[in-house]
Amino acid sequence: MNRYFRTPAAALALAALVATSASAELPQGAKAPTFATKAALAGKAFGFNLKAALAKGPVVLYFYPKAFTQGCTLEANAFAEAMPQFKAAGATVIGMSADDIETLKDFSRKECRDAFPVGVASPAISKAYDVAMASGMTRRTSYVIAKDGRIVAVHANADYRDHVAKTLAAVRALKK
């Protein structure tokens, strides 16, 4: 038995808590934290405001760990290819990472193909959305936020491949 725990049940309870908090995300139905941040589209910086974006319709807010890494590049390419479908469904898409704005300007041109913006996930934003990792990067998590500011879908998976399909399906379901 571990000297820090008096009972196996206490050790098990702590292990469950650690496992839960390590992969937690905001739940479906929760109010999405509003924020404003620096973002880039087509290589140009601008200010992104979630509240203003929601006034136009649903928002797909997807967090990814690091620009120009293999999975993040492939995910950005997939979102770029699907942008006509997201636009037809009335949704705004924004990718978020802890990268600096200069990196995001370059990423928005090369990998997002000028199709959608990417924004700076500050430590406060990462914490608010429960995607902060000890490394300073963000955990790959996608949120679909309805116009009323409520989270209607969450997909948290390190594998980038289902994020586009699942968020697009959630946006389309909102339109019905």
The pLDDT tens digits of the residues spanning 138-148 come to 999 999 999 99
| Alpha helices by DSSP H, 118-161 | 123-128
Domain ranges of the chain: 25-175
Residue 147: burial class (beta carbons within 10 Å; 0-12, 13-18, 19+) = middle
Is 0.95 topped by the overall pTM? no
Dist CA 86 CA 154 (whole Å): 16
Strand partners, 132: 138
E strands present in 91-147: 92-97, 118-120, 141-145
What dotted CATH number matches 25-175? 3.40.30.10
How much is the mean pLDDT over the chain? 89
Give pLDDT tens digits for 83-99.
999 999 999 999 999 99
Q: Which two tokens stand for residue 23?
A: 């992969």
